[in-house]
């Protein structure tokens, strides 16, 4: 790998950390068909486990972040955005993974979402639906995250004749991006709508401090979240999911995620495990 390429990758990684709040230390053919989300959507049996990832695109203009270069911080650009189309963005990183096969993609699948990508794990019966939310719609992204982990809303997605149900019917729901709760309070606190077991992953700066109170009101288990400032890059989620799809314990999954973060950020495993935490304490 050339020195120029190494420098570019390191720059993207550093900029991910710089995207925290100022106040705190391929476009494929549209193969998916979506049904409007609604609290009254009847629950169905998914054909396998489902992961739903909600990515709030990095946005210099509409989020309380230390600005990153404009080509990474355009909340309307799915091709280059720091958390989606950049080297360590969800779309790009999972798209290059040997463990996941891309099944479908669609532009503007619903209000507030610019792009949706659907993957299937190559060895396990697990589907992953990743949504790129407009950077200007942080409140709506977080509202949808809590609507999912509380069981309030469901949404059907059809991929080449296979129907998946996301949001409240996903087994694991992940939020990736800037911690919007550093900028605003939730207008409506979530409440528990069912007793289904769901895992939650929240990759945003200091997410445990800001998300604990509302998350406790849902039916979700905090599988992975953070204790301090961090770069919410896709290798964390990717490696954590590898443990999850293989039925590992929460601590084993945490260890995988921390190992990935330590590798890419060039910090110690201990420091990474103090940052990427699991459970309520």
Please write the tens of the pLDDT for every residue from 28-49: 333 444 444 445 799 999 999 9
The pair of structure tokens assigned to 165 is 């149900």
Give me the number of domains the chain comprises: 1
Residue 254 falls within a domain, yes or no?
Answer: no
Residue 252 falls within a domain, yes or no?
Answer: no
Residue 175 falls within a domain, yes or no?
Answer: yes
Residue 265 falls within a domain, yes or no?
Answer: no
Higher-pLDDT residue of 132, 19: 132
Residue 7 falls within a domain, yes or no?
Answer: no
211 alpha carbon, distance to own chain's centre? 14
* pLDDT at residue 278 in the model: 98
Range of the domain at 111: 27-234
pTM, full prediction: 0.89
> DSSP letters along 151-215, please?
T--EEEEEETTEEEEEETT-SEEEEESS-GGGT---SS---------EEEEEESTTHHHHHHHHH
């Amino acid at each position: 790998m050339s020195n120029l390429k190494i420098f570019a990758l390191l720059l993207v990684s550093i900029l991910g950390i710089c995207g925290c709040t100022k106040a705190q230390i391929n476009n494929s053919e549209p193969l998916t068909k979506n049904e409007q989300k609604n609290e009254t959507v009847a629950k169905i049996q998914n054909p396998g486990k489902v992961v739903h990832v909600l990515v709030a695109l990095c946005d210099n203009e509409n989020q309380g972040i230390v600005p990153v270069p404009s080509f990474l911080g355009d909340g309307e650009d799915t091709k280059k955005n720091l958390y989606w189309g950049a080297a360590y963005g969800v779309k790009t990183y999972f798209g290059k993974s040997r463990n996941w096969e891309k099944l479908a993609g669609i532009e503007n699948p619903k209000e507030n979402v610019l792009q949706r990508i659907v993957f299937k794990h190559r060895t396990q019966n697990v589907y992953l639906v990743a949504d790129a939310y407009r950077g200007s719609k942080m409140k709506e992204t977080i509202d949808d995250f809590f609507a999912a982990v509380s069981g309030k809303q469901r949404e059907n997605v059809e991929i080449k004749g296979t129907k998946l149900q996301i949001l409240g019917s996903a087994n694991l729901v992940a939020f990736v991006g800037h911690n919007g709760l550093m900028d605003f309070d939730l207008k409506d606190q979530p409440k528990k709508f069912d007793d289904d077991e769901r895992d939650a992953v929240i990759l945003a700066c200091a997410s445990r401090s800001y998300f604990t109170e509302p998350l406790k009101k849902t039916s979700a288990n905090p599988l992975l979240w953070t204790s301090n400032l961090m770069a919410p890059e896709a290798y964390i989620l990717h490696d954590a999911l590898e443990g999850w799809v293989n039925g590992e314990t929460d601590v084993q999954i945490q260890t995988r995620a921390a190992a990935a973060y330590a590798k890419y950020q060039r910090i110690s495993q201990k420091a990474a495990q103090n940052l990427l935490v699991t459970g309520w304490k």
